[in-house]
Structure 1
Amino acid sequence: MKTLLLGARGAVGAVVRQELIRAGHHVTTAGRTHDSDAVIDVHADLAPLAAQAQNHDVVVNASGVERADLVHATGSTPLVEISATGSYLEELRGVGGDNPVLLGAGLAPGASTVLVASLHSRPGDDIDVLIMLGSGEQHGPAAVEWTADLVGNDVYRPPESERIRNLVTSVRSSGPDGKTRRYLRADFPDHILLGDRDGTKIRSYLTLSSAPMTTALQVLGRVPALRRTLGASPHLGSDAWHIVARNRRTGQQLYARGHAQSVTTGRLTALAATRVVQPGLTGPTTMADIATLDDLESAGATTG
């Protein structure tokens, strides 16, 4: 399999490249500089991307650049997108047509999508997704920018009838390690990817592995003028992460947990690249359509 990889130098992209090469696949790295295998600037004209996509089996966008016209540029070549922005993924879903487009191939969405789909039992279910990210891990610029964009903004098309502001309201709950934490309401997009299918209500919440850092994040949510301080925040806490999906109606829950979220995200994205090229897969799809709980284990997570 030949993969065209956008963002190969990033924390996630480097893992995607390593995993695909380890599995015996060919990877073409794409970037703005001539030390990449292919010179492609996804901020500019996408004609070079269109030309390269024709010669590859799949395109993986790990660059953090969100452009819905990437779908048109990749043509009939399947596209794997790791973005966690609900409005953008919804736009991709709307313009994708019959071409395979994998929406959200990371932790949340991605692993979270698999957990929610595995837990869901009937239309109209009510599911909470509790996500802990490792604040002690060095994250790339795209991840920091995505978190900063939560500050001062509303959840995109929440299942509730009223506006919901990111990082303001919270719930307290215990994670897979038995510790009770405060989880802040946050705009992860599983309610867009799965909730639209049958009316299931999905609410996502975020905490960090450092309690003081979570408190600081909530302060930013209440005082958006301080959002510029996010990029300068110290890396306190561990690199541990977990995701808990809990069905309010049945009381049942599933979880996945591990360390080094960039590594797990890269492994899941590499898996998505190999699965999205399978015959018979068409149109917009999610990790829940191509991956299982066993696949999360194979990517280094512990599930339960």
Structure 2
Amino acid sequence: MPAPTARPAPRRHPAPTALVLGARGAVGRATVAELRRLGAEVTTAGRSAPEPDGLALDVRTAEGRTALRAAAESVDVVINATGIEDPRLVDATAGTILVDISATAAVLARMATTFASTEAGSRGLVLGAGIAPGLTTLLVDALDPAPGDEIDVAIMLGGGEVHGPAAVAWTAELAGRPLHEPGEAGDGPSGEILNFRSSLRVPEPFGSRRYVRADFPDHLLLGAPRGALVRSWLATDSRVSTAALGVVGRFPALRSLVARAPHLGTSAWSITAIDRGTGRTLRARGEGQSRTTGVLTAHAALAAADRGLRDLATTADLLPLAAVDGLADLRLETPDPVATPST
């Protein structure tokens, strides 16, 4: 993926304007609310119009993507909060900035390739907005990985928070599938690393917690460009649910059970980023994954609009880590260095 080099361009409106796709969902609603709180003019869109002046627009269809292209021409930035991961949205928003909340590494790689190969005039693409990737990218960037460094990113999500069907389906579909270009060999049939198969025990304030390997894309967004090895790991705040992910990783035929699993746990989430070489650790905590994702996405989108982004960027290219401390009650911590997490 090419390194981002943002070049400023004049904003087209006195106040930033945004089109939010998937505005009915939990993340979309939080994004819209934060954009409006910050003074942006927001148009909402969904498969049915979310508001009286919103747009009925289904990006899964060719007609919907054609309508999106027309709507995108009149705004500074388009935010995809639908949960639909589709590289064709890059072409459908040509001429403006697209902020995509997708979390699948292979999809983001295809979006970057589409962006690099398309002549579409003045526009930009922000890959990875929200918590993971997004906040995770900020934490990895703050550790300043050098070639050869190894960074672990442990993502703990609140098992008690109810998510939309797209988020549940995304998690279920990971089970047993190979990670996209992880940068190291694994124990899969062809040397792949498979989602939810390997695990890591990470030191935490009140003991330690076991995480399973998961295909979040910071190895693609920051690891590979810097020659560092970034590994992402997933857990919920329910140890039972996390253990169940490990079982589904071993037996992918059971992935349909993820959608029917009870919501065990709370709405608390945390991210811990650890440099294996130095033990240096950065941590972020908060409540409500969907709300935090929407708030962070809104700030990244307005930062991209403010600079008139014309290139590929990540959240780390747009926001300093200190700028997100306190947003949506997010708290940043710098714990004492830890020993190497144990597998």
Normalised TM-score (structure 1)? 0.96
SS, match of residue 21 in structure 1: helix
SS at match of 1:136: coil
1:61-140 to 2 correspondences below 5 Å: 61-97=80-116, 99-140=123-164
Query: What is residue 20 of structure 2 aligned with on the other side?
Result: 5
Return the letter of the residue paired with 1:32: R
Q: How many angstroms does 1:172 deviate by?
A: 1.0
Equivalent positions of 1:84-233 (< 5 A) are 84-97=103-116, 99-161=123-185, 162-175=191-204, 177-233=205-261
Cα separation, 1, equivalents of 2:259 and 2:59: 23
Contact 1:209 / 1:240 at 8 angstroms: preserved in 2? yes
Range with bigger deviation, 178-187 or 42-51? 178-187
CA–CA separation in structure 2 for the residues paired with 1:58 and 1:280: 9
Q: What secondary structure does 1:108 align onto?
A: helix
Partner residue, 2:55: 38
> Counterparts of 2:269 and 2:91 in 1: how far apart (Å)?
35
Count of residue pairs the alignment pairs up = 303
Question: Which residue of the other structure, out of 270, 276, 283, is the alignment partner of 1:248?
Answer: 276
C-alpha distance after superposition, 1:177-235 (max 9, x if no partner) = 33311110111110011112121100011111001111111111111111111111111
Return 7-16 or 246-255, whichever deviates more. 246-255
**Cα offsets for 1:251-282 (capped at 9, x unmatched):** 11111111111111010011011011123632
Deviations 1:38-86 (A, max 9, x none): 1211000211001000011110000011221211111120000001010
> 1:121: Cα distance to partner?
4.2
Partner of 1:303: 332
Q: How far apart in 2 are the matches of 1:31 and 1:168?
A: 36
> 2:263 aligned with 1:259, yes or no?
no
C-alpha contact 2:23 2:50 (8 A) present in aligned 1: no
Paired AA for residue 146 in structure 1: W
Return the alpha-carbon distance in structure 1 between the equivalents of residues 197 and 301 of structure 2: 36
Q: Aligned equivalents of 2:309 and 2:326: distance in 1?
A: 22
Indicate the RMSD between aligned Cα atoms, in angstroms: 1.3
C-alpha distance after superposition, 1:107-141 (max 9, x if no partner)? 11100000000002422211011110100111111
Contact residue 195 and residue 214 of structure 2 kept, 8 A: yes
Q: Give the structure 1 partner of residue 4 of structure 2.
A: none
The residue identity in structure 2 corresponding to 1:179 is G
Q: Give unpaired runs (5+ residues) of structure 2.
A: 1-15, 117-121, 186-190, 334-343
1:280–1:50: structure 2 CA closer, same or farther, 3 Å change rule?
closer
What displacement does 1:25 show?
1.3
- Deviation, 1:35, is 5.1
What is the Cα deviation at residue 34 of structure 1? 4.3
SS at match of 2:179: coil
Alpha-carbon shift at residue 16 of structure 1 (Å): 0.4
| TM-score normalised by L of structure 2 | 0.85
- Counterpart CA distance in 2 for 1:43 and 1:32 is 9
Q: Give 3-state SS (helix, strand or coil) of 2:42's partner.
A: strand
Aligned sequence identity (%) = 47
Could you say what secondary structure the match of 2:269 adopts? strand
Cα separation, partners in 2 of 1:11 and 1:280, compared to 1, 3 Å: closer
* Secondary structure in 1 matching 2:284: strand
Distance in structure 1 (CA, Å) of the matches to 2:87 and 2:145? 32
CA distance in 1, matches of 2:308, 2:21: 25
Q: Distance in 2 between matches of 1:226 and 1:289?
A: 39
Question: Would you say the 8 A contact 1:39–1:48 is kept in 2?
Answer: no
- SS of equivalent to 2:306: coil
CA 1:121/1:64 → structure 2, altered by over 3 Å: closer, same or farther? closer
Question: Which among 34, 49, 74 is matched to residue 19 of structure 1?
Answer: 34
